[in-house]
């Protein structure tokens, strides 16, 4: 409701601006085309007042509605442009702040509400084979951050802050390098969470202690982010230093609070 109000009210006000400004102004310009000699300020002001009053007359209702519509459309477009610019500026500020954080300090700070470490993307170090459940754990964390207030995921670092690197993950991929790793990660997000949310995920690589570490910066989602697991979609939320699945009841309560317009 809050978001709708932010759009509807300015659009209506822009409609009235079109009615009270564009309509009389157009009529004045039209009049001046046929009376170029009458440029006296007093005459022009009188004319403007007359045109404003006339715009509310019964015979001018169709024209008034047209200018109300034009004003509303122009206001709506300006609002969207302003919203887009504001969103981009906030995004730049957020990414600048997060990227500016030193990787060493991130690891030293450990896991928390806005940070999570994962040993690998898909390689199980115990069974020494590809493990789809590890991929699911990555997706759960990403969705959990999206449904909360953003976060940073380090892949290639275990829970204790020990850097393990990404070599084992690389070896499981068709392209055994950073590009292949990023492509696989983004494909997972696109297919299991949603392609429309991929722009909210930013992937960086660091060579740390001679090993590659992937830093995934996740922005807050613009809608509820669900993870497809089998035939079901599940809702996860970052709470404290853990990511947990919400029950249907909990999700129904949380979503309207997180996205009031949804």
Whether residues 156 and 67 share a domain: the answer is: no
pLDDT band at residue 2 using 50, 70 and 90 as cut-offs: very low
- Which tens digits make up the pLDDT trace of 235-251? 999 988 899 999 999 99
Asked if pLDDT for residue 1 goes beyond 50, the answer is no
Separation between Cα atoms, residue 106 and residue 111, nearest integer Å = 9
- Average pLDDT score, the chain: 83
Whether residues 139 and 210 share a domain: the answer is: yes
Q: Single out the residue in 85, 113, 135 at which a domain terminates.
A: 85
Whether residues 105 and 222 share a domain: the answer is: yes
Whether residues 133 and 214 share a domain: the answer is: yes
> Is residue 157 assigned to a domain?
yes
Whether residues 75 and 116 share a domain: the answer is: no
* pTM score over 0.75: no
More confident residue, 163 or 97: 163
Asked if pLDDT for residue 99 goes beyond 80, the answer is no
Whether residues 208 and 125 share a domain: the answer is: yes
Q: Domain holding 159: CATH number?
A: 3.30.950.30
State the average pLDDT over residues 83-102.
59
> Is residue 93 assigned to a domain?
no
Question: What pLDDT sits at residue 114?
Answer: 87
Separation between Cα atoms, residue 52 and residue 40, nearest integer Å = 18
> Is residue 120 assigned to a domain?
yes
Nearest CA to 109 out of 155, 152, 156 is that of: 152
Whether residues 116 and 57 share a domain: the answer is: no
> Is residue 91 assigned to a domain?
no
Number of domains making up the chain? 2
State the average pLDDT over residues 173-177.
95
**Three-state secondary structure readout of the chain:** CHHHHHHHHHHHHHHHHHHHHHHHHHHHHHHHHHCCCCCCHHHHHHHHHHHHHHCCCHHHHHHHHHHHHHHHHHHHHHHHHHHHHHHHHHHHHHHHHHHCCCHHHHHHHCCECCEEEECCCCEECCCCEECHHHHHHHHHHHHHHHHCCCEEEEECECCCCCECCCHHHHHCCCCCCHHHHHHHHHHHHHHHHHHHHHHHEEEEEEEECCEEEEEEEECCCCCCCEEEECCEEEEEEEECCEEEECCHHHHHHHHHHHCCCC
Tokens of 94: 């957020």
More confident residue, 255 or 39: 255
More confident residue, 33 or 92: 33
Whether residues 119 and 40 share a domain: the answer is: no
Whether residues 30 and 79 share a domain: the answer is: yes
Question: What pLDDT sits at residue 162?
Answer: 93
More confident residue, 199 or 29: 199
More confident residue, 262 or 104: 104
Identify the bridge partners of residue 214 per DSSP, sorted by sequence position. Answer: 155, 205
Whether residues 234 and 144 share a domain: the answer is: yes
Whether residues 226 and 118 share a domain: the answer is: yes
> Is residue 90 assigned to a domain?
no
Asked if pLDDT for residue 186 goes beyond 90, the answer is yes
Q: Single out the residue in 85, 113, 128 at which a domain terminates.
A: 85
- Which tens digits make up the pLDDT trace of 57-92? 777 777 777 777 877 787 778 777 776 666 555 655
Whether residues 81 and 210 share a domain: the answer is: no
Residue 137: give the domain boundaries.
101-258
Separation between Cα atoms, residue 253 and residue 92, nearest integer Å = 31
């Amino acid at each position: 409701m809050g978001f709708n109000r932010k759009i509807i009210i300015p659009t209506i006000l822009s409609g009235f601006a079109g009615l009270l400004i564009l309509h009389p102004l157009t009529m004045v310009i039209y009049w001046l085309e046929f009376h170029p000699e009458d440029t006296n300020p007093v005459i022009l002001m009188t004319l403007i007042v007359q045109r404003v009053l006339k715009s509310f007359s019964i015979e001018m209702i169709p024209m008034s509605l047209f200018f109300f519509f034009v004003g509303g459309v122009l206001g709506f477009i300006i609002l969207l442009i302003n919203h887009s610019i504001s969103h981009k500026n906030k995004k730049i500020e957020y990414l600048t702040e997060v990227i500016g954080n030193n990787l060493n300090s991130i690891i030293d700070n450990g896991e928390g509400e806005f940070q999570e470490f994962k040993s690998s993307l898909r390689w199980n170090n115990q069974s020494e084979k590809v493990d789809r459940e590890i991929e699911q754990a990555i997706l759960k964390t990403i969705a959990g951050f999206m449904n909360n207030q953003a976060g940073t995921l380090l892949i290639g670092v275990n829970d204790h802050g020990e850097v393990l690197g990404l070599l084992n993950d690389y070896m499981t991929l068709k392209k055994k390098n950073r590009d292949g790793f990023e492509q696989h990660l983004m494909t997972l997000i696109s297919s299991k969470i949603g392609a429309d949310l991929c722009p909210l995920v930013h992937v960086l690589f660091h060579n740390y202690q001679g090993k590659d570490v992937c830093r995934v910066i996740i922005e807050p989602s613009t809608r509820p982010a669900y993870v497809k697991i089998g035939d079901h979609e599940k809702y996860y939320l970052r709470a404290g230093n853990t990511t947990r699945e919400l029950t249907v009841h909990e999700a129904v309560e949380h979503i309207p609070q997180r996205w009031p317009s949804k």
